Structure 1
Amino acid sequence: MKIIIHGGFFSESDQSHEVKTAKQNSLKEIAEKAFQYLQTHSAFDTVAYAVSLLEDDPLYNAGIGSQIQSDGVIRMSAAIMNGETQKLSGVINIQNVKNPVFVAKDLIDEDDRVLGGNGAKKYATEHGFENFSTEIPQRRKEYEAKLNNGGKGTVGCVAIDKNGKLAVATSTGGKGFEIPGRISDSATVAGNYANEFCAVSCTGVGEDIVSNATAAKIVTRVTDGMSLETAFGKTFAELKAIDGFAGAIGIDRNGNVYHQDSYPTMVFASFDGEFFEVFS
């Protein structure tokens, strides 16, 4: 059993040492909570739980930490994928829910598993998700000043459970000041993909991740026999060729954990019940 989570990027030039320390402590705490949850739950349930904790922390660009778009509105996207069934479900540009990842998870048994905009919100309301504003004062100040938080971000979790089953979940609050209606990678197989061999979650510039089909490429290459490290390396070499900005985390069916970024520093933490690895 292993867990790895990410929370976007950290920029030394735009963010303080205090923010860095806060993210390190937060990621370590969430990774540990998620690992404990994994003891009695499947990988699929656990990745949703872990991502919900990240969505609840305003340090990250998801849930209550989400960015504000150019028209002053927050729209969020999230997805989850079960490696065993190879089913993906997600929401795109949903508004006014606390945890988009849980709405995405609820959709996994539907015939129509990826919903957007008003349809996603209507589904959430009909399935008991309360109306909730994810805007915090800091984000409104940044929007009004036409600034962002210095961290291109998204949050995600990959887990392998005691039965060797893999799952992944990813959630984002956008890049900030984007054109309303923009769709990035988080609710697509480019940013969030899993099968029985490997699971990968991405963060960074959605357009770059989609152009490179990053998560799907890594998982496919591992499925075809590449090692996890080699698959990451080849995929990120292709990302570099288009000057892509991205980071990714992954676990293969043998329990190997790997992470890589194209423009340091992706913030992440992994835990296997004994050893932590936290970004530095």
Structure 2
Amino acid sequence: MQTYPEIAPKLVIHGGLLDTRKTLTQARHTQEKFHDALAAVVKESFDILCSVGARNAVLYAVRALENEPLFNAGTGSVLQSDGQARMSAGLIDSQTGHFSGVINVQHVKNPIDIAQLLAKEPNSILAGELATRYAQQRNIPYYNPITSARQQEYEQQSMHQTGTVGAVALDSKGVICAGTSTGGIGGEIPGRVSDSPTVAGTYASSVAGVSCTGIGEQIIDHAVATRIVTRVQDGIPLQIAVDKTLLEARVRDYCFGLISLDYTGKVVVGKTQEQEYYQLLYASYDGQRLSVYP
């Protein structure tokens, strides 16, 4: 593995692609809550990045976002059509080159932790009831992630779509790690598989890492994360790789957003839908410069 000792650590996180037309409330104070939550998580996670590396920073960041009911992951996950919360997460870093993921796990607080456990297994992706049983067998405490707000939205058939959460980090050793976690799209067929626990939605190599959010089927069809990283591996700058990928997706009227980071610390974020009411919630930090949207 290459190392880049002159490159300062960098971290970028996201809280999903928000369609403000479908939210229950979009008052100014709600925007401020998103801002404050993202800013706090990215700063805290950066300390982890500097002390114990990219993978631990991504785990910390995604776990913190899963614990924030504002976002659709972990606590606050939206409900599938049968009223159940089924959560998914994916994780990969450039040091191991090994992807691990959990699909439609239930009754856990932090799905990203199950993805981390599976990284140590010969079978690194598990799904459904057996994924839940796997977590129970490893003494992961039972947890109900369904909030009263999500239950109310389900009963009113008005899903508060704040998308997926994710993080991409670069540490001082040049390791890049990407992780993503989601509660799904809400109201979907029970057992539906999202992009988050696949390399289409979560991918990293020694040159770049990507975490996606949006309509998972479209992200999978477009192989977004791997497409971008492969282009960077082929010598295309990250900004151009992202722009080209988004342009191709716009032709097909796809709806997704992404965060990305390359081995130089360059951060690129983007979304396919250019309208103002589509907001990609994200934050980046390098120890000095903090960028947060909204």
Shorter-chain TM-score: which interval? over 0.9
- Separation in 2 of the partners of 1:207 and 1:222? 23
| Alpha-carbon contact 2:284-2:291 (below 8 Å) kept | yes
| Match in the other structure for 1:2 | 10
- Separation in 1 of the partners of 2:248 and 2:117? 35
Indicate which of 136, 146, 157 corresponds to 2:157. 146
Identical residues among aligned pairs (%): 41
- Separation in 1 of the partners of 2:18 and 2:48? 27
| Match in the other structure for 1:165 | 175
Structure 1 residue 150, shift from structure 2 partner: 4.1
- Separation in 2 of the partners of 1:121 and 1:146? 27
| Match in the other structure for 1:89 | 100
| Alpha-carbon contact 1:85-1:195 (below 8 Å) kept | no
| Match in the other structure for 2:45 | 34
Matched residue of 1:39: which SS?
A: helix
| Match in the other structure for 2:80 | 69
| Match in the other structure for 1:278 | 292
Q: Which amino acid aligns with 2:17?
A: F
Matched residue of 2:75: which SS?
A: helix
Matched residue of 2:99: which SS?
A: strand
Indicate which of 243, 246, 259 corresponds to 2:253. 243
- Separation in 1 of the partners of 2:59 and 2:179? 6
- Separation in 2 of the partners of 1:115 and 1:105? 12
Runs (5+) with no aligned partner, structure 1: none
Structure 1 residue 212, shift from structure 2 partner: 0.6
Shifted more, 39-48 versus 70-79: the winner is 39-48
> In the alignment, does 2:66 pair up with 1:58?
no
TM-score, normalised to structure 2's length?
0.93
Alignment deviations for residues 77-108 of structure 1 (CA, whole Å, 9 cap, x no partner)? 00100112210101000000000001101111
Structure 1 segment 119-198 matched on structure 2, within 5 A: 119-151=130-162, 153-198=163-208
Matched residue of 1:239: which SS?
A: helix
Aligned residues: 279
Matched residue of 1:221: which SS?
A: helix
TM-score, normalised to structure 1's length?
0.98
Structure 1 residue 198, shift from structure 2 partner: 0.6
